[in-house]
């Protein structure tokens, strides 16, 4: 791709002002898969992982989502090693609030001291003085949410983080958090095949809060050869995955998809979704098929 193509690709998804402070291209990159199996340990090909990160920035991605629990620590470290010093417009979001006792295992820990400790580690690994968006990875049922969020508020007051986000929350939990602090983003599971967080997305739309869908490419049977996603993809000379991302971008102006991959070629394929334009009828047909 030429530089011009890359610039066009970056702009094609439109922009969103995260927290009213950071304008980001709406199609970002999720850095979960640049780790080992089970999101644990080192990647099989560290050089390819670095190339993926560098290529994402070349393609115009200026919003990268990670977490201290990815690896743990591996994803953040690779980002710092591969991309620092960062472009002026690059926004890095990370998360804290989960422990990793082993591959595929995730244990909530919302203890304020733990969250602060994890923030310090993220700052070191990412080589940042202040994290643009710091997200509570999960609300820990063993710790009052106001205590966990209080730790994040203190980190913001200390200048170590700028914006606060939440992950896997209900509308009621979002409102409760907002009684304590402004919330810039919500990251919930959402895709064409699973729209159980529709009410949360609608509340984010109402308030202008960034909605970051994780697991954005889970399409189930919709992508089968005779399914509606595959049919629409053929009409656009695109892949079902590209159409699924295009549908997310068309669904809402606050939507910030962060498809992840450990392959440069797969990254480039995903980014082409930003150039696809779906008609209102196609969007409605896919939504109807998705249930």
Tens-place pLDDT, residues 156-187 = 999 999 999 999 999 999 999 999 999 999 99
Each residue's pLDDT tens digit, 62-89: 999 999 999 999 999 999 999 999 999 9
Q: What is the pTM of this model?
A: 0.95
E strand intervals along 60-125? 63-65, 91-96, 98-99, 107-108
70 counts as catalytic: yes
Answer for the pair 279, 236: CB distance below 8 angstroms, yes or no.
Answer: no
pLDDT at 4: 44
Alpha carbon distance 89, 63 (integer Å): 9
Reading the block at residue 244, the tokens are 């699924």
Read off φ and ψ for residue 266, nearest 5 degrees: -65, -40
H/E run at residue 150: helix 145-157
Distances (CA, A) of 146 to 111, 140, 143, 159, 177: 11, 11, 8, 20, 7
Sequence-distant (6+) residues with CB within 8 A of 282 are 232
Cβ atoms of 212 and 65 within 8 Å: the answer is: yes
186 token code pair:
């919500």
Q: What is the DSSP letter of 194?
A: B
pLDDT tens by residue, 37-50 = 999 999 999 999 99
Token duo for residue 45: 């090909």
**Helix (H), strand (E) at residue 251:** helix 240-251
Q: Of 70, 86, 114, 190, which residue is the catalytic one?
A: 70
The DSSP H or E segment spanning 30 is strand 29-30
Q: Which domains does the chain have, with CATH numbers?
A: 3-290 (3.20.20.100)
Look at residue 220 and tell me whether its pLDDT is greater than 90. no
How far, in Å, CA of 47 to CA of 258, rounded?
21
């Amino acid at each position: 791709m030429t530089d011009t193509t890359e610039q066009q690709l970056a702009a094609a998804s439109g922009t969103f002002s995260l927290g009213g402070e950071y304008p980001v291209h709406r199609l970002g990159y999720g850095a979960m898969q640049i780790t080992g199996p089970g999101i644990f340990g080192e990647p099989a090909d560290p050089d390819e992982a670095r190339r993926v990160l560098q290529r994402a920035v070349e393609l115009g991605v200026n919003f990268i989502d990670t977490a201290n629990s990815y690896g743990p620590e591996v994803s953040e470290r690779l980002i710092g090693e591969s991309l620092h010093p960062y472009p002026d417009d690059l926004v890095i979001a990370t998360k804290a609030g989960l422990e990793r006792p082993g591959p595929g295992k995730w244990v909530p820990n919302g203890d304020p001291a733990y969250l602060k400790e994890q923030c310090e580690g993220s700052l070191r690994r990412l080589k940042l003085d202040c994290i643009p968006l710091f997200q509570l990875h999960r609300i820990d049922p063993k710790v009052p949410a106001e205590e966990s969020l209080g730790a994040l508020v203190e980190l913001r007051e200390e200048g170590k983080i700028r914006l606060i986000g939440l992950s896997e929350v209900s509308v009621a939990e979002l409102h409760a958090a907002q009684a304590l602090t402004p919330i810039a983003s919500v990251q919930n599971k959402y895709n064409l095949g699973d729209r159980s967080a529709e009410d949360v997305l609608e509340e984010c739309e109402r308030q202008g809060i960034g909605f970051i869908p994780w697991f954005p490419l889970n399409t189930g049977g919709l992508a089968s050869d005779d399914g509606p996603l595959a049919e629409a993809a053929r009409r656009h000379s695109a892949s079902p995955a590209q159409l699924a991302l295009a549908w997310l971008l068309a669904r809402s102006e606050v939507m910030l998809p962060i498809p992840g991959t450990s392959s440069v070629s797969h990254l480039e394929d995903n980014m082409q979704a930003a150039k696809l334009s779906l008609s209102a009828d196609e969007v409605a047909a896919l939504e109807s098929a998705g249930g």
